[in-house]
Amino acid sequence: MPPLTAADLGLQTCHVCGLVSRAPPGAHGSLCPRCGAAVHRRKRDSIGRTWALLIAAYILFVPSNLLPVMRTASLTGTQQDTIMSGVVYLWVSGSWPLAALVFFASIVVPLVKLASLTFLLVSVQRDSAWRPLERTKLYRLLEFIGRWSMLDVYVITILSALVQLRSLATISAGPGAIAFGAVVVLTMLASKAFDPRLIWDTQNNDDA
């Protein structure tokens, strides 16, 4: 016998205040009786919206790495640095821990996040029944990392402050920094748009 879900009992949860209420029969969505927020049984168009945000993040990942993230103007002239050239500069100048931190936070983590979300989407679209618990844990990890994603931006800020102290130069953010911020925000929105309940749908249909 398949496990009973809240939807089977005609119950739905408000995402704003958490109140469980009875869904009016036949209605797709309704309003929460306590706080008035729109209540849906599922996140609407989860797969389509997640793909749209994810693809936008992939596209912006290219300029975020190719365009300069910071411009350094000093007496000797202006220098433009991309994330990678910044990492190389730090590495060559002997700041290995900082070089590793910037590389990890600005290139590895965003790529791993994009790849994980893509994997979750593809597995859900293929009705995969493979390791739903592990995939749910992966999703929870993604949401957790999402909250700390702006760390990358802090790293760049600290980095520019360090350079500024050393060389009496003026630092300003380049267009790459905007693209980078957009990648972080779009990835966060994409993971918010993804409905992890989709992972478990195949489990209930197993005996069908």
In the complex, what is the shortest distance from the CB of residue 193 to Zn ion, in angstroms, rounded to a whole number? 20
Q: Which is nearer to Zn ion, 20 or 158 (CB)?
A: 20
Measured in degrees and rounded to the nearest 5, phi and psi for residue 169 equal: -105, 160
Distances (CA, A) of 124 to 74, 117, 191, 198: 52, 11, 14, 6
Q: Max CA-CA distance within the chain?
A: 75
In the complex, what is the shortest distance from the CB of residue 11 to Zn ion, in angstroms, rounded to a whole number? 13
CA 121 to chain centre: 13
Q: How many residues does the chain have?
A: 208
* Tokens read off for 89: 């500069």
Q: What residue ranges bind Zn ion (CB under 5 A)?
A: 14, 16-17, 19, 32, 34-35, 37
Q: Which is nearer to Zn ion, 19 or 178 (CB)?
A: 19
Q: Which is nearer to Zn ion, 34 or 131 (CB)?
A: 34
Distances (CA, A) of 145 to 49, 78, 100, 124: 20, 35, 18, 21
Q: Which is nearer to Zn ion, 35 or 122 (CB)?
A: 35
Q: How many angstroms separate the CA atoms of 68 and 86, rounded? A: 9
In the complex, what is the shortest distance from the CB of residue 36 to Zn ion, in angstroms, rounded to a whole number? 7
Q: Which is nearer to Zn ion, 16 or 62 (CB)?
A: 16
In the complex, what is the shortest distance from the CB of residue 32 to Zn ion, in angstroms, rounded to a whole number? 3
In the complex, what is the shortest distance from the CB of residue 12 to Zn ion, in angstroms, rounded to a whole number? 10
In the complex, what is the shortest distance from the CB of residue 7 to Zn ion, in angstroms, rounded to a whole number? 17
Q: How many angstroms separate the CA atoms of 38 and 27, rounded? A: 12
CB 106 within 8 A of CB 94: no
Q: Which is nearer to Zn ion, 9 or 37 (CB)?
A: 37
